[in-house]
Structure 1
Amino acid sequence: MPSSPAPAGPSAPAPRRTSRGRPVLAGIAVAAFCAWAVYPAILAYTFAAGEKGTATVAECEAVRRGPDVCRGTWRTGGGRTGEGEIYNLDARAEGGRTLPVRIGPLGPYAHGWDRAWTTPVLSGMPLVVLGSLFALIYRGAFRPARRLADELLAAPGALVVSDGGTRRADGSPHTFVRSLPEAPPGHRRLDLPGRAARHGDLDLPKDGRTFFVSLVDADERPLMVLEHRSEKRFEPETVVLDPSGAPRLLVRRTDGVRFRILDPAGTELGTARPAEEARVNSLEVRDADGRTVAEAAGRGLMRWVVRIEDDAPEPLRDAALVLAHIRLRAAY
């Protein structure tokens, strides 16, 4: 099987690229804030510029969880009348009262921010909690990995792995990923004993899920085919096939972030695990003697950077590239 093409040698540093993951997350945060801000904005408009009127409360119902519900009639300063729910009232004290209101897009509101502030504040608390949680996750996992990815990218021979393939640090294409509708011609299935049990109830078909992708070089010549397998009972694995369909490697996950690299006979060629416990979004690929032959790290949510040592054995070169694609695409 033709191996993955070797990275380019030393070259001028590439222009710094901005990860697409950060704009995506920023967009989600802005969308969530805008969704939350609609109601406070309507209240602000109502209290500041809503049409003035007078409302008479006919009946009220105290609600244990949420604002009380009061109904009645109202008349605006221009003579228009209405009937229905009147908002921002205390059911225990305001039944039968006549009081001034402001009428906005949602209807008549009594009082002002002195009673209305609680709903926007309480509804905004989940956003604060989620934002704080994301900040902790980013500081604990994504930021250390990004620093490592930037260090790898600055070194000679680095590759930037994205959903569509890999590029060299100078931006030139290295490989492309092509989805396959079925197993390639000549496909030979590889089954080795020793798969680790999987924990948790995943939403997978009863018989699991298998799909194939092809890695081709910049000239669209096939390099390898990846057979991704995921099952309910066992940790997932990826068989690396040569273009003829013959198995060349098996990359087997042993838990969420650790992998074994096996040849078709079941001999362990190497392992992969996070570079440090604090850098879960990174990988070190080691040979059977424990020597590090490749490193990879996530650079945001949409890219990984991988750097392979010049003297790394060919099977482990392929495995390092495959592992970066596995971690990036969340194939399992």
Structure 2
Amino acid sequence: MRFPSSAAFVVAAFCAWAFYPAVLAYTFAAGENATATVVRCDLNNRAPDECHGTWRTEDGETGRGEIYNLDADTAEGRTFPVRIGPLGPYANGWGRTWWLPVFWGAALLVMLGVPARVVRRRTFRTGRRTAAGLPADPGALVVSEGGTRHPDGSTHTVVRNLRKAPPGHRRLDLPGRTPRHGEWAGGMKSRFTFFETLLGADQQPLMQLEHRSEMSFEPETVLLDTSGIPRLLIRREAGSLFWVLAPDGRTLGSARPEAPATDLAVRDAEGRMVARCAERGPGECVLRIEQDAPMELRNAALVLALVRTRRRY
């Protein structure tokens, strides 16, 4: 789930906070050297204290005005080495200034973090209540990136990485893959394919998974049988919508977030509910598959739940 306006606000707030430390860093590192004499300091009860005076640079240029980063109680009448930057003359280097950006940075985190935590808590509370109720169903599965388990904690499936394509692998490519939009893919290779095998509780292979992630296109996963033949293709679109496609390109079903927003609902091509995956916590969800769901969509729902728990897809 994305909050573009919130993300833009966070970026803008961070840039606003980072501006002042960046200017100070430039001033203390590359600002022009000068000597300043403090003429007077004003102690203000309801505003920051101010010190004013004159200064002369190493080139002989003079100036007059406020001098920053001084202790107003003791600075009056004294002379200080200063650095002159975009905001004016600063004395004492980072020794007296470091706490200010730290203070405002902490305040910014509090101001942004508390509302974000409230929004997240309200968003996930209903989904977690749903997830809490699902394990009581004997058919429910707790899903994480490493596999699935039954409500009693016993193993249902285990995911194992494969170093290369499984024996007999046949590649499936279907037209219609959509470009990524509005998602940062920094650090991702231009094309990255990796394979996994899904093992049963008896450690026997049940299916193979071929995950394809690229910078330019939305990711997709091919479900292969144990002989390497493609049986399904799951393709993401617009960040949160998934299509379940047959090898011949027919649409078998779809999956998308539904109320509560943290639930992923899997439906067949006619729109009938096949399965629901409710988030239980970070990297974990609870999957309930309808008893009359066809096998191909049962497998698709399981793979979708596994994909959903991945840290990156």
Is TM > 0.5 for Structure 1 vs Structure 2? yes
Partner of 1:259: 242
Picking from 166, 178, 202, the partner of 1:196 is: 178
Which amino acid in the other structure matches residue 192 of structure 1? Answer: L
**Residue 223 of structure 1 pairs with residue 206 of structure 2:** yes
Q: Distance in 2 between matches of 1:191 and 1:249?
A: 11
Which amino acid in the other structure matches residue 300 of structure 2? Answer: A
In the comparison of the two structures, how many residue pairs are matched? 235
> Alignment partner of 2:281: what SS?
coil
Partner of 1:157: 139
Partner of 2:305: 324
**Percent of aligned positions that are identical:** 53
- Normalising by the residue count of structure 1, what TM-score does the alignment of the two structures yield? 0.64
Q: Distance in 1 between matches of 2:99 and 2:204?
A: 63
Cα RMSD, aligned residues only = 3.1
Q: Distance in 2 between matches of 1:237 and 1:119?
A: 44
Displacement after TM superposition at 1:59 (Å): 7.5
Displacement after TM superposition at 1:117 (Å): 9.0
Q: Distance in 1 between matches of 2:216 and 2:103?
A: 45
> Alignment partner of 1:131: what SS?
helix
Gaps of 5+ in 1: 1-57, 61-65, 69-86, 98-108
Which amino acid in the other structure matches residue 108 of structure 2? Answer: P
String of CA shifts for 1:119-177, please: whole Å, max 9, x gaps.
Answer: 76434202202422431341343223212211222333110011211100011100001
Q: Distance in 1 between matches of 2:209 and 2:278?
A: 21
Q: Distance in 1 between matches of 2:185 and 2:98?
A: 43
Partner of 1:282: 263
Partner of 2:83: none
| Bigger RCO of structures 1 and 2 (CA < 8 A, at least 6 apart) | 1
Q: Which protein is richer in strand relative to its size?
A: 2
Which amino acid in the other structure matches residue 189 of structure 2? Answer: P
Aligned in 2, Cα 1:295/1:117: closer, same or farther, shift over 3 Å?
same
> Alignment partner of 2:309: what SS?
helix
Q: Distance in 2 between matches of 1:167 and 1:232?
A: 33
Q: Distance in 1 between matches of 2:272 and 2:139?
A: 19
Partner of 2:21: none
Q: Is the CA contact (8 Å cut-off) linking 1:295 and 1:307 kept in structure 2?
A: yes
String of CA shifts for 1:53-91, please: whole Å, max 9, x gaps.
Answer: xxxxx978xxxxx999xxxxxxxxxxxxxxxxxx97239
Partner of 1:291: 272
**Residue 205 of structure 1 pairs with residue 189 of structure 2:** yes
Q: Is the CA contact (8 Å cut-off) linking 1:88 and 1:116 kept in structure 2?
A: no
